[in-house]
Amino acid sequence: MSGHVVTEIAGDVLTLRFNRPDKKNAILSAMYADAATALKAAETDNNVRVVVITGSGDSFSAGNDLKDFMENPPADHNAPVFRFMFGLSSFPKPVIAAVNGIAVGIGTTVLLHCDFAYAVPTAKFQLPFVNLALVPEFASSLLLARHLGTRKATELLMLAETFDAETALSFGLINAVVPADQLEATVQAKAKALAAKPPAALRATKALLKADGNEVSARISLEAKIFSERLQSGELREAITAFFEKRAPDFSKF
């Protein structure tokens, strides 16, 4: 493990924590690999009934670490990011997200694959893919339109504006807004309640709720194909260069 993903077991609840608080838990390729490995192990570990995903410090995740992302672009489905996506999207046991701060990019789309999500009042959400000359990922182009309707999904994915926890609640992206000093206790109480229920019945119920798994998997693959093509674009080079130069990108020549 890289040390930037910490796993903690309390009873039959596994907590998977992104642990780069100084970088707002921006996710490295190695972190995706660690998270995918942890999920794979938890899937077959009968001692794990529920998984909690959260972040260290005051951030859930700022999304991909752009420097690492450009140095280690995902080449195919064996790339760590896709192993994590496919692993979580098909994970059979209950998953709870504890959103303890900003949730950008995959920090937001990951919530579409968690069964429950709770956020602090100061949490901020954003889907900035188009701003970076990229396209949505983690089947968000499918799931957001399905959950929110095409109009609202289009607004979130094309305008890419930041929204707050109460708005996320109104969208149904989270179950509740919880005071920061109560988030961990609230999530652990929900996890323990789930862990006490008959595990096979829970898994079967989740499977019924996620009966569109093949469609989700196909959309992740389609998005990945277009995403990979976008990595070669001049638009992306301008967006990333502008990001690191701390200036507004200029797309007028494209």
Q: Domain span at residue 116?
A: 5-180
CATH number, position 102? 3.90.226.10
Dig out the tokens for 74 from the structure. 């995902």
Number of domains present in the structure of the chain: 1
Beta bridge partners of 8: 15
Q: What is the pLDDT of residues 173-210, one digit of tens each?
A: 999 999 999 999 999 999 999 999 999 999 999 999 99
User: What would the pLDDT profile of 37-50 be if each residue is shown by its tens digit?
Assistant: 999 999 999 999 99
Q: Please, which residues bridge with residue 14 across strands? A: 9, 51
Instruction: Say how far apart CA 47 and CA 239 lie, in whole Å.
Output: 45
Confidence band (pLDDT; 50, 70, 90) for 1?
A: low
User: How much is the average pLDDT of 101-106?
Assistant: 98
Range 166-171 average pLDDT: 98
**116 inside domain:** yes
Rounded Cα distance, 58 and 68, in Å: 22
Q: Rounded CA gap, 75 and 227, in Å?
A: 10
Per-residue confidence (pLDDT) for residue 3, from 0 to 100: 86
pTM to 2 decimals? 0.96
Mean pLDDT for 30-58 is 97
End-to-end Cα, the chain, rounded Å = 41
Q: Is residue 12 part of a domain?
A: yes
Q: Is residue 211 part of a domain?
A: no
Residue 167 inside a domain? The answer is yes
Taking all residues of the chain, what is their mean pLDDT, rounded to a whole number? 96
Tokens for 78?
């064996």
> DSSP assignment of 8-39, as one string?
EEETTEEEEEE--GGGTTPBPHHHHHHHHHHH
